[in-house]
Structures are given as structure tokens and as C-alpha cells.
Amino acid sequence: MTRTVQSEHEHEYDVVVLGAGPVGENVVDRVRAAGLSAAIVESELIGGECSYWACMPSKALLRPVIARSDARRVAGLRASADRPLDVQEILAHRDEVVGNWTDDGQVDWLESIGARIFRGHGRLVGPRRVEVAAPEGERHVLTARHAVAVCTGSRAVLPDLPGLPGAHPWTSREATSADQVPGRLIVVGGGVVGVEMATAWHAFGAQVTMLVRGEGLLPRMEPFVGEHVAAALTARGAEIRTGVSVSAVVRDGSTGPVTVVLEGGDSVEGDQVLFATGRAPRTEDLGLETVGLKPGSWLDVDDSLRVVGTDWLYAVGDVNHRALLTHQGKYQARIAGAAIAARAQGDGSLDASGWGPYAATADHAAVPQVVFSDPEAAAVGLSLAEAEQAGHRVRAVDLDMRQVAGAGLYAQGYQGHARMVVDLDREVILGASFVGPGIGELVHSATVAVVGEVPIARLWHAVPSYPTLSEAWLRLLEAYRG
């Protein structure tokens, strides 16, 4: 009897990173810039979820949808814009944006900064030790002199429903990579993924029905935001049903119609169903149990992104559940990489006197987000309800965006709304929310105001250019002063 013996190799690096998405790449970039050696482990494509199945392909799908919608609201362009989208061209461009799901460019960049790439499934096998099962059957054991960073991200969650596995539902991955437009698309969930994908596929020709358990869309934002987005989707022909829960899914054969059964007995039939119902950390098979942690759990970290109770393990990006957004994960990665390097180089001040510049403070008070719906939605900081729940004495200042001269020039019949939440004791802005065409570009100025705790009195002297959408700030300040 012949016995196959897998070859095993031992390696040692200053830092080992699990997960080569944008978060892991940024950790490696920072530690390499500080002169530390680094290895990065990835079981799928280098570049991760954002590059191939989330941020990049979804925005490639949505950009022409929003551009056409904007053009339809501009005098002189309506007739030329009132044509069906060239869906095949859009999908081809999407494929180009994601590099046709190949990662050569990302590999070249990592190699150019001197990072060692290990392809395969990596898991912890004890403190500072990672085992990689490579596709070719080899086994590598990596020892980290200073730190291991878990940057494995999150995955879409499918609920435990009768019939769902056999119905072959879409998750966010299939929704951003599909190459055919379903005639009827059922979207379960009213969050960011549900809203963006309903916007895109409806514009491509699908008849869209959204099934939302809660009272409205985008529940993490101010209520008026979801109301504007829902009204626009409904006006274009999408159906939105709120306050409903799914009890089962039935597919007729492998490719036939799918029926989504609701609690109470009602049902909706479509050709495809997308479940956009939340995410879970990709930590279920990382060997966390070998270092006293629970497999499949979110990882609790301090503000330097070090896992609580350890002096060598870091969890960066989605896995720590602070803010499941690529830009926040990359921000955390820059801080984590700098903190790892500082500790490796003996900077005891990090633990003796606090983390200083090595603290991810934005995760607590100023997380910006843009939803690329039509109209766009954006927010940063605290909503009115969140500020009140946190015990602040606040006032919400609201603005109908039609009062802004630039809005009427941006689009005829402009519909939008803005709100800033003001801390009345300190007279600084705690949060801001916007909904309307083109407002995604307003959120960074709001972020600067919130992060910088810029006093209202000083904001009067930050003069917005006329006539732009940024004049919303002037109108909000006027409304605040009364």
C-alpha cells in the first residue's frame, strides 16, 4: 500500500496576515514600510471581497444607472437618456473592473513591496503560529515573531429556511457577478446590499419585489433617508413590501420559478431571489480554539486593533464588527500596521500612556457611508435617535434640498433632504445625513466637521462655493440660527 506524505515547510516572519483583501493588504503595506518582514495568506483571490464581489463590481453596475437617471433630470438630455441601458456593455465593463476575476495585478503589487504570499487555507495552531494547507498539498507552518493579524472579513448569511438550499438563492456575491438579468427578482432585506442591488437590476430590466421585515429601507440611517429611496424605487415600478417575514422558499426544479412563502401564507413568485439579510465573520475555521477564542465569533479588540486578552493577535476590518465598510477596514489596517511596527520596535509608550495616534477613534464617532442608490444616501456620525440614546442634549436641523440653488441646477425637479445633529452644550455637529442625487460627495465635508469637532461658530466661515450642493451647509447653519 502506497502512502502519500505531504511535504511540510517551516517559515518565520515578523508579521503573518490571514486574509489578502484590502484590509490585509494595508496591514502588510504598513509593516513592510516599517522594515518588518511579512507573509500574507489567502485562500481565494488576492484583493478580497471588495475587489471582486462587493464594492468594485457593485459600483460598476450602479454608475451607469445613476448617470442615466441624473441625465433624465437635465434639460436637453432627457430624450437622449430615455433609452434602455446597454446591459451587456455594463456587464462587460464590470468584468473588466474586477479583472475578469483574476488577481495578477494584486499579486504583482504585494510582491513589489516584498511581501510573501501563501495561497491556501490558513488557520492558527497556537500562539503566533499559522498552518497553511496549500492547494498543491503542501503544508506550511508560519511563525510570527511579533504579530498575527486576522483580516478574513465577513460572509453573507443565509437564514435557516425550509427549501432555501435547493432554491440556489443569490447572495451579494451572485448579485454582483451574475451575467443574465432575471425577469423577476425578489430581494429579501432592505439594507444597503438589498437597496443597491434592487436599484441596479431593476434598471437592467428585472421586475423587482423587495420583502422587508422592518418598517422601511436603510434602517440604520435616519428614517427620512429610507423613505426617499423607497419612494423613488416605487415610482420607477419596484414593489416594496414592509413588515413581512419569509417562512420558506420553493424552487420548481433547478432552474424553474422560485416561490418565496411569507408568514401568514401569502407568497411571491420570481425567477431569482436575493437574500441580503446580514453578514457573519469568516472566523469559523481559523483555529481560534487553539488560542482560547470561540470559532465563528466576532473578535473583540482594543483601539489599536489588538484582540483583547492577547499581546500578539490583531483582528482588523469586518472580523471585529466595528464597522463593516471597506474604507473603515483600511483605516483600521493603517493604524494596526503602525501599532504592530511600533510595538515590534520597542515603543513602550503605546501601552504605558495610551495608544495616541495608534487608536482607531473614528470607529466610535465618525463612520461615513454612502449608499449608491437612486437617489444616493449618505451619513456620518450619530443619527438623532442615536445621539439622544447616548445622552446628548441635541437638536436636529433639517433642510429640504430644494432650498439650495445648486440642487435645482444639478437636476430639475430635485428631491432631497439633509439633516445635521447638533450638540447644544458644545455647539458642534455629532452627525449628518443626506439623501438626494449627487449627495455622496457631501459626506466627506460632514466627516471633517464631525471628526474635527468644528464649532458651529467657525463653520460660518467655511464658505461653500455657489452654486453647488455644498450650499446645503449654509442653509443648515441659517436654519440652526433661526
| CATH code for position 424 | 3.30.390.30
pTM: 0.94
Tell me, yes or no, whether 384 and 350 share the same domain.
no
Within a domain: residue 312?
A: yes
Tell me, yes or no, whether 226 and 239 share the same domain.
yes
Tell me, yes or no, whether 426 and 439 share the same domain.
yes
Q: Grid cell 509608550 — which residue?
A: 349
Across residues 346-361, what is the average pLDDT?
Answer: 76
Across residues 165-190, what is the average pLDDT?
Answer: 97
Classify residue 158 by burial, with Cβ atoms within 10 Å: 0-12, 13-18, 19+.
middle
Within a domain: residue 237?
A: yes
Which sign does the torsion angle of CA 324, 156, 205, 191 carry?
negative
Write out the residue range of the structural domain in which residue 306 sits. 8-47+103-155+281-363
Where residue 13 sits, what CATH number does that domain have?
3.50.50.60
Tell me, yes or no, whether 287 and 265 share the same domain.
no
* Cα 80 to Cα 72, 88, 148, 230, distances in angstroms: 8, 19, 55, 26
Tell me, yes or no, whether 117 and 12 share the same domain.
yes
pLDDT confidence tier of residue 4, bands split at 50, 70 and 90: very low
pLDDT at 349 over 80: no
Across residues 410-428, what is the average pLDDT?
Answer: 97
Question: For position 464, what pLDDT does the model report?
Answer: 96
Question: For position 2, what pLDDT does the model report?
Answer: 36
422 HSE (CA, 13 A, CB side): 20
pLDDT at 3 over 80: no
Within a domain: residue 67?
A: no
Tell me, yes or no, whether 146 and 203 share the same domain.
no
Within a domain: residue 89?
A: no
Cell of 77: 438630455
Tell me, yes or no, whether 259 and 173 share the same domain.
yes
Within a domain: residue 90?
A: no
pLDDT confidence tier of residue 255, bands split at 50, 70 and 90: confident
Nearest in space to 384 (alpha carbons), one of 436, 420, 346: 420
Average pLDDT, the chain: 95
Within a domain: residue 2?
A: no
Question: For position 482, what pLDDT does the model report?
Answer: 78
Tell me, yes or no, whether 419 and 307 share the same domain.
no
**Cβ-proximal residues to 73 (8 Å cutoff; 6+ apart), any chain:** 411, 412, 413, 414, 437
Question: For position 353, what pLDDT does the model report?
Answer: 59
Tell me, yes or no, whether 475 and 408 share the same domain.
yes
Q: Grid cell 435645482 — which residue?
A: 408
Tell me, yes or no, whether 358 and 405 share the same domain.
no
Per-residue model confidence as pLDDT tens digits over 89-141? 999 999 999 999 999 999 999 999 999 999 999 999 999 999 999 988 899 99
Within a domain: residue 33?
A: yes
User: Domain boundary residue among 321, 337, 363?
Assistant: 363
pLDDT confidence tier of residue 1, bands split at 50, 70 and 90: very low
User: Domain boundary residue among 239, 261, 277?
Assistant: 277
Within a domain: residue 313?
A: yes
Question: For position 153, what pLDDT does the model report?
Answer: 97
Phi, psi angles (nearest 5°) of residue 178: -60, 150
Per-residue model confidence as pLDDT tens digits over 278-326? 999 999 999 999 999 999 999 999 999 999 999 999 999 999 999 999 9
Per-residue model confidence as pLDDT tens digits over 456-473? 999 999 999 999 999 999
The domain tally of the chain equals 3
Of the chain, the percentage scoring pLDDT greater than 90 comes to: 91
Tell me, yes or no, whether 356 and 408 share the same domain.
no
Residue 307 bridge partners (DSSP):
301
Nearest in space to 32 (alpha carbons), one of 438, 338, 476, 306: 338
String of b and e for 434-469 (b: at least 16 CB within 10 Å)?
Answer: bbbbbbbebbebbbebbeeeeebeebeeeebeeebb
**Cβ-proximal residues to 385 (8 Å cutoff; 6+ apart), any chain:** none
User: Domain boundary residue among 277, 310, 337?
Assistant: 277
Across residues 243-267, what is the average pLDDT?
Answer: 93
Tell me, yes or no, whether 294 and 262 share the same domain.
no
pLDDT at 263 over 50: yes
**Cβ-proximal residues to 139 (8 Å cutoff; 6+ apart), any chain:** 6, 7, 8, 9, 131, 132, 133
